[in-house]
Structure 1
């Protein structure tokens, strides 16, 4: 594509002008020729054939009929006024009806002429009928000229655009005008050998055929080519960044696995590592020996043992004379990591400190001093870790938990805490589908812990309807009798906080009758309570002083209580799949069998039924994430909206996984043999990078 032409402001396209340009910019973010070219049709209307009237039925979408107009008349007055016409072919008669624009239609149609009639067929009193059809005089020449025997593109428009005659048909005319003038300026941007290998249509033909396909075959070929191109350049950007970073950022070499690691592994580790944990540790070990800054994403379900892997990696850094830290997005998560690590190692082994907004000024001063003199080896905290006052003597290894909750600038501040950037391990308990990880984290190396620690039993999940509530109460009593504890979680939806609180209070009233004092004790946590009140209730539950914790919000139950064996989720149909899976992960922390009960009303939407059935069927977070992505689309998965990387115009990560894999492996092959894109056959790709350095955004590469 010739950038000079396609960066031309949209007002300069024939038929647009200043006022239409303003509304195109505001309504569709179409600022220039390229934006219009990439405003792809959202569907296609089949105009590749004419139907006989006798073959029409009400289930058909829009169809074309070739028929002679035999009569028409205006019926009714004022509000009931309508124009009714009759048209027939050799197989029957169809009634055509207009309720609006009657004067214009009456002037434009001629009795006795043959028309191309296009619209949605219906039936009234047993007769074929078509409301507000498009009418076009038939001649063999105009069928050919206007391309009636094609797949007609339908474009997204808005009410505002329609006021400027920019409905689907109006946008179609603009795109046709653009292609007529500038098709020759759409230049190829993929090497010929890639076109040959993947049997890709050339670029200009693909743009013409995605807008005005003559048949389904050329449309498929055009879409495949443009999807491949979009995903190819996305991977080219990510892998080029990764290549540049490995060249630019040298990393500290961790030469030895010494005293701290070995002592912990042989004498302090309270359980056997899983094979998956061992594999990930090996990957991290190799990364930290290469002399290049490590950037690795560690994915693993709730309870899969990511924190232990992070700790053991940090011990290798400490063995090599470096300090380490863990940054978590919330105080609750930071506290959780702190207590988990303190339970695994004590201060006589290695000093560990916690730094959050709640830490006193006096304690902060001590932490700052110990960091600067190097005596503090492990610091755990929130974004307080990146404050300018926090200075490390020799920071070598950084763990970032739930990275999508931190901005790029926040992460970069940690990098700058040492002369040589520290190695980075990013952890997430939100399983990400492979295609999404390849896109969101395509410039990171990815490790996966895909097995639970030995002795952990899979959580048994059941779905109960409201009429099975007594059965649920009976089960709760059985578990409490065994000495277990139970979570009961209600959804919290912003728009109806009062309603949710009412649900919670109604639930507690019902439960108070079923679980009377002093035999049963209940903790209550909801958003209207003060932080101190919430903490008091949570501590009672953690210490085992209460049997049941009832809560409205998800984060308040982000505590580790191995004795809690049942998670009951009320109105489960109101939660997303990833939320349901995260909540379920709050139980199953001990060796005892744990359970998750999903309570719902009798009426369920199609998606609601799929979500609950999925939870019952599988405990596999990655399988759940794939289904979640199919239901919600990749842009709505937690943490992806703000990534900015998912602004895909034609590709779809839920359906185009195979194309993404092909594109990525193709880019990997290119960088393996030609990292500088210096070979003659890669000049077109190099030009694309030049376009980027000229200040164009990546989605504008052409």
Structure 2
């Protein structure tokens, strides 16, 4: 562990953050890295997903080839056969049964080893078998599973060696089954957890006594012992609940500390001016703000007027007008002599924002040039792929203050950009950035800029409290007047292959009517990693779909491809031609997922829609129906009705309520690293907390966290918990590069 890190950790936290290699050795620690486990605490929080007793039975009819399983079954038959060839080798065949279905199991080995195994597997004996389900003659089977056998009372019989199961993982008839890998079977994980607990010994608790008593929680180290070595199902469940509370409280204490720090900082006060650039913009704005935009605008304006940094999340449906609200906030800051930054996750979105804001401002965005309006300001765009001359021009105008509005990507976070007087940071699509990444711009040594975070992914309240606990939340639910409806239809090519031909015919009809069409594919070409699973056909690529359409169903139509591998100039040229209507069909990856605004685009075909998440599908669909023309979104899939995948796609087709879809989306994926940079869902401080399932715990944890920080803000345990949690987030940010 880094000496700087260990300096601020007390003994208990130091033990939890001890590198696994120090405890288990480098080789074993490397194997755990595939489970995103690198410290003793992460291993202790890697708890069994369920517990088995030696007397229950698994439903064998539900087994699927490729799954890692731990099953309990009876031995129906045992046979052994010699294997021809050198060496005295034999094949041992078992038939397992649950009383209804059967499963073949095969072992290979020396004759003496097979003889030893055969003594373990008497007819009607009962055992747990752990391994990967294979297939033989189109039937599931197990080959060389780990196993442990039981008598009728659920007690271990035979000799349990290291590979099969050590007796310490069997207490009072309960066996913990861990999320495992082929190189780390459940037995090995159990042995490693036992070793970590033995080396750690007795430790002080990480929570104060009064807090544990109020939440009725057992001591942390007792919970670790009980969850890995359970005496009964009830005590195991109580221990697991303590670990869930630990995660929830650690997250909420960290968020509370951030809110407390923010309240003690100063920000530039930016009160509205009656005669500035914002007033000029409002006077020439060609449309009327919705009621929601007006209300949120008033809230933001009041917070910008104060000397405490605004920290606000604005969530709203696709097309609800968040960008306009953000622009008006930026103009209010410019009126006060400060700069405003809009941080976008992709170059396409940054360029789109740049074009949109320039178009909205007109002469007001021309800068201090001859003939420009009195209150005009400059607009600068900065992205990573800009040539040296363009980048130098942009950074110069940012540094000397001639650019009041700055729009850019991660290039703004490099530390090589000097701002003249930064007053507001707007972060678009928050789920693409972590808290620490936002902090690069907002953690300045003197005054702290105000912060406005935008997201088109609606968020349930429990998620908002957890993911955005350092922000106040506003919502835009009302769509601007005149927005057309979008019909969404599932094109089931598995059951009706001919429906795809009709989809292309429908695309031709839209083009013939003077409209434009998006076609979205999961991949660029066959060399890109495929999101399809091993039992699915390869997913569609931009390259092959372009070739197929240009030579067949859409022959003769102006058609182009757009994806992330195009150089920036070509990418921009493709978008410019589509915006101008010169291209009528755009085949693209998800680079058009957010921000792209083409009112004339009325149709979208999403190929292999089952390869996308709910939020992605909802965001993609939001690219059409943005004007007064009705839209049509076709979700092409071969996912079978009744499957979870198909239910997800059907749900998107059934509603345009992003808040409803957000709950479904969150329920089907992990929450991601809410405190750091990663949002993908695996490297996360939340290993056990599920923000929908544990909403009540999260709410109570927030109240306890606020009480703790108000009662004793200098409690070493509290400071340790915040520092350790933020260290995890910073480590994730470093991994992100």
TM normalised by structure 2 equals: 0.73
Query: Relative to 1, partners in 2 of residues 1:535 and 1:236: Cα closer, same or farther, differing over 3 Å?
Result: closer
Determine whether 1:448 maps to 2:493. no
User: Partner of 1:511 in structure 2?
Assistant: 553
Distance (Å, rounded) in 2 between the aligned partners of 1:360 and 1:107: 71
Please state whether the residue corresponding to 2:319 is helix, strand or coil: coil
Note the C-alpha offset of 1:231: 1.4
Determine whether 1:592 maps to 2:629. yes
User: Partner of 1:377 in structure 2?
Assistant: 404
User: Partner of 2:613 in structure 1?
Assistant: 576
The number of aligned residues is 653
Higher mean alpha-carbon deviation, 554-563 vs 454-463, is at: 554-563
Determine whether 1:622 maps to 2:659. yes
- Counterpart contact for 2:640–2:646, Cα < 8 Å: no
Please state whether the residue corresponding to 2:672 is helix, strand or coil: helix
Please state whether the residue corresponding to 2:206 is helix, strand or coil: coil
Determine whether 1:205 maps to 2:205. no
User: Partner of 1:103 in structure 2?
Assistant: 112
1:523 aligned to which of 516, 541, 559? 559
Which whole-Å deviations, capped at 9, do the CAs of 1:411-442 have from their partners, x for residues lacking one?
Answer: 55644789523212222334455544444433
Distance (Å, rounded) in 2 between the aligned partners of 1:379 and 1:486: 31
Please state whether the residue corresponding to 2:697 is helix, strand or coil: helix
Which whole-Å deviations, capped at 9, do the CAs of 1:161-217 have from their partners, x for residues lacking one?
Answer: 6xxxxx53354345446656766x143333344334433333343222211223322
Note the C-alpha offset of 1:501: 1.6
Bigger proportion of residues as helix: 1
Name structure 2 gaps, 5 residues minimum.
1-10, 64-69, 96-103, 131-142, 158-166, 365-372, 529-539, 731-737
Matches within 5 A, 1:157-556: 160=183, 167-176=185-194, 179=197, 185-247=202-264, 249-260=265-276, 263-264=279-280, 267-345=283-361, 346-347=363-364, 348=373, 350-356=376-382, 374=401, 376-382=403-409, 391-403=418-430, 405=432, 414-415=441-442, 419-432=446-459, 434-464=461-491, 465=493, 466-473=497-504, 475-476=506-507, 478-480=509-511, 482-493=513-524, 495-496=526-527, 500-512=542-554, 521-527=557-563, 535-546=572-583, 548-555=584-591
Please state whether the residue corresponding to 1:296 is helix, strand or coil: strand
User: Partner of 1:28 in structure 2?
Assistant: 32
Distance (Å, rounded) in 2 between the aligned partners of 1:154 and 1:593: 52
Query: Relative to 1, partners in 2 of residues 1:585 and 1:202: Cα closer, same or farther, differing over 3 Å?
Result: same
Query: Relative to 1, partners in 2 of residues 1:21 and 1:616: Cα closer, same or farther, differing over 3 Å?
Result: same
Please state whether the residue corresponding to 2:551 is helix, strand or coil: helix
User: Partner of 2:50 in structure 1?
Assistant: 43
User: Partner of 1:646 in structure 2?
Assistant: 684
Distance (Å, rounded) in 1 between the aligned partners of 2:291 and 2:156: 70
Query: Relative to 1, partners in 2 of residues 1:64 and 1:203: Cα closer, same or farther, differing over 3 Å?
Result: farther
Query: Relative to 1, partners in 2 of residues 1:374 and 1:186: Cα closer, same or farther, differing over 3 Å?
Result: closer
Distance (Å, rounded) in 1 between the aligned partners of 2:524 and 2:118: 55
Please state whether the residue corresponding to 1:292 is helix, strand or coil: coil
Note the C-alpha offset of 1:250: 0.9
Which whole-Å deviations, capped at 9, do the CAs of 1:567-591 have from their partners, x for residues lacking one?
Answer: 2223333333333222211111112
Distance (Å, rounded) in 2 between the aligned partners of 1:541 and 1:12: 57
Note the C-alpha offset of 1:226: 1.0
Distance (Å, rounded) in 1 between the aligned partners of 2:444 and 2:26: 47
Distance (Å, rounded) in 1 between the aligned partners of 2:486 and 2:478: 14
- Counterpart contact for 1:324–1:398, Cα < 8 Å: yes
Determine whether 1:687 maps to 2:721. no
Please state whether the residue corresponding to 1:399 is helix, strand or coil: strand
Distance (Å, rounded) in 2 between the aligned partners of 1:244 and 1:699: 17
Please state whether the residue corresponding to 1:447 is helix, strand or coil: strand
Determine whether 1:134 maps to 2:148. yes
Query: Relative to 1, partners in 2 of residues 1:84 and 1:442: Cα closer, same or farther, differing over 3 Å?
Result: closer
TM normalised by structure 1 equals: 0.76
Distance (Å, rounded) in 1 between the aligned partners of 2:107 and 2:624: 63
Distance (Å, rounded) in 1 between the aligned partners of 2:680 and 2:398: 33
User: Partner of 1:17 in structure 2?
Assistant: none
Name structure 1 gaps, 5 residues minimum.
14-19, 87-94, 122-129, 162-166
Please state whether the residue corresponding to 1:353 is helix, strand or coil: strand
User: Partner of 2:174 in structure 1?
Assistant: 151
Query: Relative to 1, partners in 2 of residues 1:81 and 1:579: Cα closer, same or farther, differing over 3 Å?
Result: same
